[in-house]
């Protein structure tokens, strides 16, 4: 009998598996900090609380970490800026992408689906993109051939091809799309094709994850554009759970093109697939701030605080849901 990678005890992965739990601690702590600001209408305070807590917890981890996707550029923010060193400095050299409070508006309004998200990869594993850059994204589940859809095709062509591959009429396809004025044309096309559209107010990392978990969510495809950092973070998750995704950066100003070049992007029109957005060994951790479709939010109890986290590792393709009780 052939032993699986896990059973035979060999683990050639560069990111040691104990880092999985360390990352859970980081996103948990940031979520607890942000939860104090749930429903207080103060996005800035919620975000700052998450950033401060995340930085403090990251600095306790035995890694030589480098932030490659953070809160912004070094001159824009004090913490978790691109290029910042995090961790104790002793341990493996790793790259880290963070979204300390994905859906800050959702947190400020105490609406579902605000999350703390972090991905870790081997050095050079994560596409480096600036916080202000957007990305066209398309994602479908692993059960399809990777070339079933394509980011350069029209939405109509994509949903037609997907319906055919699934063996259902287009009216039974559900697409998930961020509810933004820029998606007016896309929505019209989807409506004309007869697709059911699930509109997201914010939080498209979870949106992409839902699109590849069709059996659980009923969502077949993610379409549209959202933050490029969120695209890389979603790709990190897909590396662990499977699913196809393509991303194309929207570098629509000379400044963005220049900064992208500095960050290693030579071809502004390149189409990236999942393994090019997040390569090599990857960890992904997300803790809920408010209750959501991916995980529950932080529960404040009399003597304790409860957190729910989903943590994934690409090498072993493991997904864990970790419910933790912390002393107050």
- Residues of this chain that interact with ligand VTB (CB under 6 A) are 102-103, 178, 180, 202-205, 226-227, 230
Pair of tokens at residue 166? 């699934």
* Complex with ligand VTB: residue 180 or 198, whichever CB lies closer: 180
Q: Is 122 marked as binding a ligand?
A: no
Report, in Å, the least distance between residue 63 CB and ligand VTB: 26
* Complex with ligand VTB: residue 102 or 281, whichever CB lies closer: 102
Residue 288's nearest CA partner among 119, 118, 114, 38 is 114
Pair of tokens at residue 298? 């932080």
* Complex with ligand VTB: residue 202 or 281, whichever CB lies closer: 202
* Complex with ligand VTB: residue 16 or 180, whichever CB lies closer: 180
Please give the DSSP secondary-structure letter assigned to residue 216: H
Q: Is 71 marked as binding a ligand?
A: yes
* Complex with ligand VTB: residue 15 or 34, whichever CB lies closer: 34
175: how many CB neighbours lie within 10 A of its CB?
A: 25
Report, in Å, the least distance between residue 134 CB and ligand VTB: 7
Q: Is 99 marked as binding a ligand?
A: yes
Pair of tokens at residue 73? 């550029």
Report, in Å, the least distance between residue 227 CB and ligand VTB: 3
Answer for the pair 41, 109: CB distance below 8 angstroms, yes or no.
yes
126: how many CB neighbours lie within 10 A of its CB?
A: 26
* Complex with ligand VTB: residue 136 or 313, whichever CB lies closer: 136
* Complex with ligand VTB: residue 57 or 230, whichever CB lies closer: 230
**Burial readout 246-284 (b: 16 or more C-beta within 10 A, e: otherwise):** bbbbebeeeebeebbeebebeeeeeebebeebbbbbbbb
Report, in Å, the least distance between residue 234 CB and ligand VTB: 9
Report, in Å, the least distance between residue 21 CB and ligand VTB: 26
Report, in Å, the least distance between residue 118 CB and ligand VTB: 15
Q: Report the run of H or E that residue 276 belongs to, with start and end.
A: helix 274-277
Answer for the pair 328, 305: CB distance below 8 angstroms, yes or no.
yes
* Complex with ligand VTB: residue 189 or 202, whichever CB lies closer: 202
List Cβ<8 Å contacts ≥24 apart for 38-46: 38/107, 38/108, 38/110, 38/114, 38/289, 38/290, 38/297, 38/298, 39/108, 39/109, 39/110, 40/108, 41/108, 41/109, 42/108, 43/104, 43/105, 43/107, 43/108, 46/101, 46/104, 46/107, 46/108
Report, in Å, the least distance between residue 249 CB and ligand VTB: 13
201: how many CB neighbours lie within 10 A of its CB?
A: 14
Q: Is 230 marked as binding a ligand?
A: yes
Report, in Å, the least distance between residue 327 CB and ligand VTB: 31
* 34: Cβ contacts below 8 Å, ≥ 6 apart: 46, 47, 49, 50, 53, 100, 101, 107, 114, 116, 289, 298
Known binding-site residues for Mn(2+) equal 47, 71, 99, 102, 230
Known binding-site residues equal 47, 71, 99, 102, 230
């Amino acid at each position: 009998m052939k032993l699986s990678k896990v059973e035979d005890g060999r683990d050639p992965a560069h990111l040691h598996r104990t880092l999985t739990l360390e990352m859970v601690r980081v996103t948990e702590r940031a979520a607890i900090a942000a939860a104090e600001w749930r429903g207080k209408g103060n996005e800035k305070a919620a975000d700052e609380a998450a950033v401060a807590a995340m930085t403090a917890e990251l600095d306790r981890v035995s890694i030589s970490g480098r932030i490659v996707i953070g809160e912004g550029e070094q001159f824009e923010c004090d913490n978790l800026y691109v290029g910042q060193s995090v961790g104790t400095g002793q341990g493996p050299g790793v790259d880290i992408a963070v979204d300390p409070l994905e859906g800050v508006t959702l947190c400020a309004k105490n609406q579902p689906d605000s999350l703390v998200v972090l991905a870790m990869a081997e050095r050079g594993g994560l596409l480096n993109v600036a916080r202000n850059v957007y990305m066209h994204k398309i994602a479908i589940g692993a059960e399809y051939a990777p070339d079933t859809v394509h980011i350069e095709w029209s939405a109509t062509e994509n949903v037609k091809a997907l319906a055919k591959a699934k063996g259902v009429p287009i009216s039974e396809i559900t697409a998930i799309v961020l509810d933004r004025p820029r998606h007016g044309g896309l929505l019209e096309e989807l409506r004309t094709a007869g697709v059911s559209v699930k509109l997201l107010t914010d939080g498209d990392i979870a949106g992409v994850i839902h699109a590849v978990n069709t059996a659980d969510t009923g969502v077949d495809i993610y379409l549209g554009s959202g933050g490029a950092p969120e695209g890389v973070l979603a790709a990190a998750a897909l590396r662990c759970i499977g699913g196809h995704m393509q991303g194309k950066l929207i570098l629509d100003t000379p400044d963005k093109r220049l900064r992208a070049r500095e960050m290693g992007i030579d071809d502004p029109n390149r189409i990236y697939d999942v393994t090019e957005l997040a390569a090599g060994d990857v960890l992904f951790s997300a803790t809920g701030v408010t209750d959501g479709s991916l995980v529950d939010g932080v529960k404040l109890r009399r003597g304790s605080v409860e957190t729910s986290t989903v943590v994934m590792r690409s090498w072993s393709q493991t997904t864990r849901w970790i419910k933790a009780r912390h002393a107050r």
